[in-house]
Each structure stands twice: as C-alpha cells, then as structure tokens.
Structure 1
Amino acid sequence: MSLLTFKKGIHPPHGKHFTEKKPIEVFFPEGGEFVFPMVQHIGAPCEPIVKKGDRVLVGQKIGESKAFVSSPIHSSISGTVKNIAPMLHPNGNKVLSVIIENDGMYEEDPSINVKKDYNKLSKQEMIEIIKEAGIVGMGGAGFPTHIKLSPPPEKKIDTIIINGAECEPYLTSDHRVMLEETERVVEGLQIILKMFPEAKGYIGVENNKMNAVNALIKATEKIENIEVKVLKTKYPQGAEKQLIYAITGREVPSGGLPADVGCIVQNIDTTVAIQRAIVRGRPLMRRIVTVTGGAIKEPKNLKVRIGTSYKALIEAAGGFISEPVKIISGGPMMGTALSSLDVPVVKGTSAILCLSKEEADLPEEQNCIRCGKCVSVCPMNLLPLQLNSYSINYELDKFEKAHGMDCIECGSCSFICPAKRHLVQSIRTAKRTILNNRKKKA
C-alpha cells in the first residue's frame, strides 16, 4: 500500500504515546458554572437570546446571529443563567459569554432528539439542520459547516475528504473517535455524499494510526463511493491544501479555497457531529478533548460538554505531577499558550497540553544565519525568513507581495530554525495587522 503525502514538511516528535491507547472517557460534572462564549466560530459573533435569571435546558439555543457567516450556540447543560458578561476565551481575549449554573439535572429541551432519515431529506433540508445545530469545523478553524457545504453553483464538487490525519503532535482525540465511533464517521461521510451525489468520498489517515485505518477499511469495504487513503506520517499532513494535494494531486491556488479544485474537506469530529445532528437530532454540545503532556498525572481523552472549564478537565486527569512550564490550548505547533485555566471548552478545543520543563525548555532566539532550512520545509513554498524581516520592519506591502497571507501558520519554519527565530509568530502578527487594516478600510 503506497503512502500519500505532500511536498516538504517536518517530522516533530509525536508525543502521542501518552493517550493514543486511552479509550474515550465521559466527563460528567454534577454542578458548577459553565461558560458559553458567543464567539466559537469564524464570522460574526452571536448575540445572547437568554437573559440573567432564565432557566435553560440541554440543547436550547442560547446565542445566534443574523449574519450569513456565523453559527448558533446551544447550552450543553440545564440550569439558570447566572450572568452575561465578558469572560476569558481560550484565544486569550475577553468575549461576551453566557454563564450558566449547572443544576445537575441535564433536562433536555423538547426541540432536540428529532431523528431524521437523511435518505428522505433534500440537500437544503440537511444543510438547514446542520446550520441550526451550530456545527463548525472542529479541527480548530471553526468555519461554519453549513457554508462549507454550500459552495457556489459554478464550483463542481467531485471529492469529499474526511481529515483523519491528526498530524499535530500529542493530539489523539480524532484517532480515538475513528476507533470508537467508526460507524458514525462513515455514516457522516455518507450524509455529505448524499448532498453531493456525483462526488467520491475519501478518508485520509496517517500510517501511525493503522488500527484506525483497518477499522475504517472494514467499515467501508462494501461502500463503492468511499475509499480509505493511507497517508505518510508527516507534519502538516492535516492542513487542507496539503491533504488535498496528497490525496488528489490537485493544488489549491494562492488565495483560493478547496472548492476551487472541486474538493470539500471535513474534520473527523465535525463529520460525527453532522451524523449526530441529522440522524439523532443533537446540536453540537460536546467534543472530545485530549488532556496530555509530561506534566499531567493521568493523560486522557475525555468526552466533555462545551462550556466545561479547563481547570475541571485537568483535575479529571489527576492534576499535575510537576509544575507545567507551558499550558497550551491545542497542540504544540498551532495551539495557543494560556495565561489562565479559567477558560471554557469551546467548539474548537481539541486538547489541553501541559508541558514539563523537559518538553518546553527552548533556547533563546538568535540572529538568522541564512541557512535556508525554513524555506526547505515550508509546505506553502514561501520564504519565512524574508516574511519575518518584512513583519519586524512593518513592511506590510512587501509582506503581501511575497504571498505572506498564504501562510497556514503551521510552525514548521520555527521548529526547524537552528537560530530559534520566532518566524511563525512574526508572520502571524503581520497577517493579523493586515486583516485588521482591511476591516478598518471597509
């Protein structure tokens, strides 16, 4: 079986040994406060549609927006709205949030659990269910799924790719979902293929997860329009453009989208969320989170309700065995370093990574030695050292002309740099500044 891959990339230490063999455990708190930020997706933030003192039920919509690019938010618990106020988000910002006191009863809203036969639904009916269920990309991007599944009519979709690469070090939540919820992954893909009857479905999985590969092959062996593709273990294999190239050989153009080359890519847990929404009538209220790292006593994969505090999940994993040098929301390559554990699980939370001194002890940044290693590994064929210079000197016009906005912020350049230059950080800063300037002009 040949291994598919993309050009360039790196091979960081996996760190997956902590949790790859740990079955998913359900974390079920009996009480406490849950925080629901009104920003859990790309696009317009939601507005609260409940008020202080209201009693809410599991699955009840508590935030929505009339904007096209947005996604509603649902309560994952029953209880009383304690407050509506700005609260710390895993991204480091304070975001307007609905704070609910969990009553421990988990009483469900009558509007949920309406089961549907997707074979009897139109594409538009399925997309409306997905939209109302608040489903977004759960690989971290948070793009509203109903929009991704509604490409312009001129974009002919012939390929649906389910991203099971999970190339980010330490993360194993998608791996465990592929093993433990195999049938739901497959049925979720079948639902998407029902929307695009002329397309073929692929599930791409790296070859360090062969047990997941074998489980998916067995589950799809009688389904003609689905094929499992084995990918070479390499970072960032799970990035959309790299995954598309590995499986189809197509290259998404600069500034383009997967739909421009006839593809739609969905994350593993997003695909399961689609299945749950249509087949079981469940809005997006839970996700799988890997709690891991050398500083954690009992690393775990936990099925948790959105709104749960990070602090509670660390306690559920036995707490710390040593003082963590750094705590990251997500993986070590693309995650966000945290200043506090008083933040809630959101739709894009994939992991809580607690690094020990041995794992996070990095040398100081030094002057660039012009070795070109960052260029040799960049999966987008950019010049990170040049983009770094443009960012530091605030030469944003030159940054854009050098295609800096195409950077996927994978961190490969920073990882390989012998001078430990903060390459991806400076590029990210320039990109944010440019986008903010565009918004001001608009």
Structure 2
Amino acid sequence: MKLENLTFKGGVNVPHHKDLTESLPIEKAKEPDVVYIPLHQHVGAPCDSLVKMGDNVKVGQKIGQSDAFVSAPVHSSVSGTVKSITSMSTPTGQTVKCVVIESDGRNELDESIKPKGSLNELSPKEIIGIIKEAGITGMGGAGFPTHVKLSPPPDKKIDAVLINGAECEPYLTADHRLMVEHPEKIIFGLKAIMKAVEVNKGVIGIEKNKPDAIMALRDASKGEENIEVVSLKAKYPQGDEKRLINAVLGRVVPSGGLPMDVGAIVCNVASTRAIAEAILEGKPLYERVTTVTGHGIKEPKNLVTKVGTPFKDLIEQCGGFAEGSPGKIISGGPMMGIVQYSIDVPIIKGSGGILILTEEEARPEPMQPCIKCGKCIDVCSVNLQPLYLSSYALKKDFDKAEDLNALDCVECGSCSYICPAKRPLVESIRFAKREIIAKKKSKK
C-alpha cells in the first residue's frame, strides 16, 4: 500500500487555522459545579433515566439506558446529587431530557470502574459488550453507537479497520493532540477493534499537516505487522469516512450504502482511545478533549472536559471573548459545525470543539445570482450537482431533488465554500434532505 499523500476526488483546500492550538498540550478543564447531561447524545433511541431527583451519584455511574439496540448508555461525569431531570437544548439544536447534577467536588468513582482484563483473554463478544456498557459512540461525527458499528450482519464481510485521524475541519486540534500525547492507547484501541470484528488489517489515516502525530503513531505501532499509519493529503473533507475509505483502500461506498458494504469499518481517533480506556481502566465515556479556539477567544486551549459542562464554563476558563461580544459561536468547526444561540448548552460526547469567530469574521457576504460556473460540481466529493439540488430545494421540488440523489449529500459545505456567488447551497440541500426523509417516514 502507498503510505503517503493519499486522497480522493474533489474536495477543497481551506485555510487550516490550526496554529492557534496545535502545539498546546491538553489541559484539564476546571471542575464544573453543575453538569447538564443529555439522555440523548447519539444516533438512535434516547435513554430513559435510571436516576431521580435527590439521588446521589458517582463518577462513571450509569444514569441513562435504553433497551433499543441502536442506542448508547449515558454516565455521570461527576459525583454529587441529582437536582432535576428537565428538557434542555443541546449543541445539536435538539431539545432533550437532561439529568442535572450538582457536583460535591469529591469525584468519587463508581465501583464498576476497574480494568476489564487482558485483551488476549477477552473474546470479540466481550470486547463489544465492554464498548456498549461504556457508552462509546462516534466522537467525530453524528455519534453513531460504536457497538452497533462493530456488529455487522453476517453477510457483510469486514477485512479492514480504518482509524480516522484526518481531523480535516479547520481550527480543531483535539484529535491531533490525542494522537501526539496518547498514541499507545490509540494503537491498543485499534487492536481491540480488530479483535472485536476478527480482521487482521488496521490502518490509521492522518493528514500530512500533522507530521508529529504521524511520527508518534508510527513509533507506537512499531512491531505491529498488521497495522499501518498512512499520511493523507490535507484536503477537506478528507475526514468523511467514505472519502477516507476511497483514499486509503481505493473502494467506493455505493449510493445509500455504508462502509460495511465495502468490507470496512471506520472509527474516530477519540472513540478508539475511549475503547482503550474502557478496557484498560473500565472507564465509561464521560469526558472528552474539546478544542476551544478562534480569534474571538482570548486564550485558545485543548481541554479534557466532562460531559455536561456548560460551554460558558470553558469560555470563561479560556479568558472570555476577545472582543466585547462574539460574532459567532459554533459547536464544531466552521464547515460542518452548528451555530449556537446560547453558551448555556452542555458539552456532549461529540463536542470536538467550540469555535468563537469575531464579528468581522462572521459578517456574511452578499448573495448573488448563480452564474453556473460549475465549481460546486468540481469540488463535490460525492459527485452531485449542488447548484441544481439547491435550485430544486428552494423551489420545494423535493421529488426532483431526490431524483438527483440529494440524500447522498454529506453536508460537508465544500460547495458553499467555493461558490463565488455565495449561494446557500449546503443549507438548501440540507433542507431538501430533511423534507425527503420526513416524507418517507410519513409513508410508513
């Protein structure tokens, strides 16, 4: 396999802006006084609360669970007292039930947190069970429950596990710092995944603008004959799992298909490290590394943050806003992140970053009529026609949008970024997708 500068067709070259935090070691965030832990942080069914107001809880204690297969349990990130269970907004824009816990400051660990045994002694089924009980989900995207991803149907033959270390979103460096500072855990997590799905090939893909991460993981994987570390061209959206599969394995996931359809499983770097900690330490997923960055924050940082910590706590720890008021606050990166209307929302398992833009950076450019230059078609990594999809969406002709494979859009935003007329391409396509999906559900 070629190990250098792998890539895919399409995509855009965007300013990285990672210099703000890429060299900053991970710090521990200040302990929150109160956490607001959503019972729905993942794709699939929401959890039911296992606690009630007045209950005392410990760090790592399971506080939410669902009987549905596609779901993931939720754990307390502090020890303290449950003050309420109430509906709140989350960074995803959803309003969900949250367990509000007042910390007692003692961080007393739940008795269940203990090593789960040697990897050599654990069976594939036991590894998947540990991952499920730890509540591990995808931490770089939609939050798909990892135990489900590692349980493909018998007819899907998996022959490769890919670890996604691309982190192609501008500004964000949480995964980068994990790879530099904890490469051994990432290698252990990859070996655990490989054993869980019974494959002998593991590949870690990292964009070449992270040479220290590539070196750290190559050093950590020395002697591992079945593991390769490859460098990827620094191009957006290299971190999309289907683009990663195409770049590394040369395989094309079919329209409407999943990575398992081409024999691959893709896991994010942070999720892989969480798997290692679940086995080695018995630690559930109740905290993560979050990059707080942007020219609108005084002191950008990479912080180990407890799930449920309000955004405002992290912003305060980073010195507050650089200007009197921010131009825009984004959960995630500038390409696929979600703009926030409040800093009272909590960190969730998928919160890789909080981006603060200045008013100047956030000022929108005026929209112009489409000149049919075709640039959006050139950069689309899914080979769609964004200008026509957007046109049909704006006319509410969702049937024609569906005919042009609107549902294949990964909403990466490359088309909107490259458009010289500043058309709302990805926003309108996203609108069409929601309408198409809603229509399909109504027919069931």
| Structure 1 match to 2:254 | 253
Tell me by how many angstroms 1:39 deviates: 1.1
| Structure 1 match to 2:69 | 68
Tell me by how many angstroms 1:310 deviates: 0.3
Q: What is the rounded CA distance, in whole Å, between the counterparts of 1:64 and 1:197 in structure 2?
A: 28
Tell me by how many angstroms 1:439 deviates: 2.6
Tell me by how many angstroms 1:85 deviates: 0.8
| Structure 1 match to 2:287 | 286
Tell me by how many angstroms 1:163 deviates: 0.3
Correspondent of 1:337 among 339, 354, 361: 339
- Where does 1:101-120 land on structure 2 (aligned, <5 Å)? 101-120=102-121
Over residues 269-327 of structure 1, what are the superposed CA-to-partner deviations in whole Å (9 max), with x where a residue is unaligned?
00001111112101101100000000110000000110111000011111111121100
Over residues 395-425 of structure 1, what are the superposed CA-to-partner deviations in whole Å (9 max), with x where a residue is unaligned?
1111111010000000000000011011101
Contact 1:277/1:283 (<8 A) preserved? yes
Which amino acid counterpart does residue 420 of structure 1 have in structure 2?
K
Which amino acid counterpart does residue 438 of structure 1 have in structure 2?
K
Q: What is the rounded CA distance, in whole Å, between the counterparts of 2:354 and 2:439 in structure 1?
A: 32
Q: What is the rounded CA distance, in whole Å, between the counterparts of 1:124 and 1:436 in structure 2?
A: 36
Contact 2:151/2:197 (<8 A) preserved? no
Tell me by how many angstroms 1:67 deviates: 1.1
Contact 1:329/1:353 (<8 A) preserved? yes
Contact 2:4/2:230 (<8 A) preserved? no
The yes-or-no answer on 1:373 pairing with 2:400 is: no
Tell me by how many angstroms 1:389 deviates: 1.0
| Structure 2 match to 1:130 | 131
Q: What is the rounded CA distance, in whole Å, between the counterparts of 2:67 and 2:391 in structure 1?
A: 41
Q: What is the rounded CA distance, in whole Å, between the counterparts of 1:115 and 1:311 in structure 2?
A: 36
Q: What is the rounded CA distance, in whole Å, between the counterparts of 1:88 and 1:158 in structure 2?
A: 40
| Structure 1 match to 2:411 | 409
Tell me by how many angstroms 1:32 deviates: 1.8
Contact 1:140/1:349 (<8 A) preserved? no
| Structure 2 match to 1:6 | 8
Contact 2:150/2:197 (<8 A) preserved? no
Over residues 100-125 of structure 1, what are the superposed CA-to-partner deviations in whole Å (9 max), with x where a residue is unaligned?
11111111111122432121111111
Q: What is the rounded CA distance, in whole Å, between the counterparts of 2:95 and 2:220 in structure 1?
A: 43
Which amino acid counterpart does residue 206 of structure 2 have in structure 1?
V
Contact 1:391/1:399 (<8 A) preserved? yes
Q: What is the rounded CA distance, in whole Å, between the counterparts of 2:406 and 2:200 in structure 1?
A: 33
Contact 1:140/1:350 (<8 A) preserved? no
| Structure 2 match to 1:208 | 209
Contact 1:88/1:95 (<8 A) preserved? yes
Which amino acid counterpart does residue 135 of structure 2 have in structure 1?
G
| Structure 2 match to 1:275 | 276
Contact 1:119/1:194 (<8 A) preserved? no
* Count of matched residue positions in the alignment of Structure 1 and Structure 2: 441
Q: Which runs of 5 or more structure 1 residues have no equivalent in the other structure? A: none
Which amino acid counterpart does residue 142 of structure 1 have in structure 2?
G
Q: What is the rounded CA distance, in whole Å, between the counterparts of 1:275 and 1:360 in structure 2?
A: 39
Tell me by how many angstroms 1:156 deviates: 1.0
| Structure 2 match to 1:50 | 51
| Structure 1 match to 2:389 | 387
Which amino acid counterpart does residue 221 of structure 2 have in structure 1?
T
Q: What is the rounded CA distance, in whole Å, between the counterparts of 2:35 and 2:164 in structure 1?
A: 30
Q: What is the rounded CA distance, in whole Å, between the counterparts of 2:198 and 2:56 in structure 1?
A: 43
Which amino acid counterpart does residue 253 of structure 1 have in structure 2?
P
Q: TM-score, normalised by structure 1?
A: 0.98
Tell me by how many angstroms 1:28 deviates: 3.2
Q: What is the rounded CA distance, in whole Å, between the counterparts of 2:133 and 2:398 in structure 1?
A: 39
**Aligned partner of residue 390 in structure 1, secondary structure:** helix
Q: TM-score, normalised by structure 2?
A: 0.98
Which amino acid counterpart does residue 55 of structure 2 have in structure 1?
D
| Structure 1 match to 2:191 | 190
Contact 1:204/1:229 (<8 A) preserved? yes
Deviates most, 261-270 or 196-205? 196-205
Q: What is the rounded CA distance, in whole Å, between the counterparts of 1:56 and 1:18 in structure 2?
A: 37
Which amino acid counterpart does residue 396 of structure 1 have in structure 2?
F
Q: What is the rounded CA distance, in whole Å, between the counterparts of 1:241 and 1:93 in structure 2?
A: 26
RMSD: 1.0
Tell me by how many angstroms 1:440 deviates: 2.9
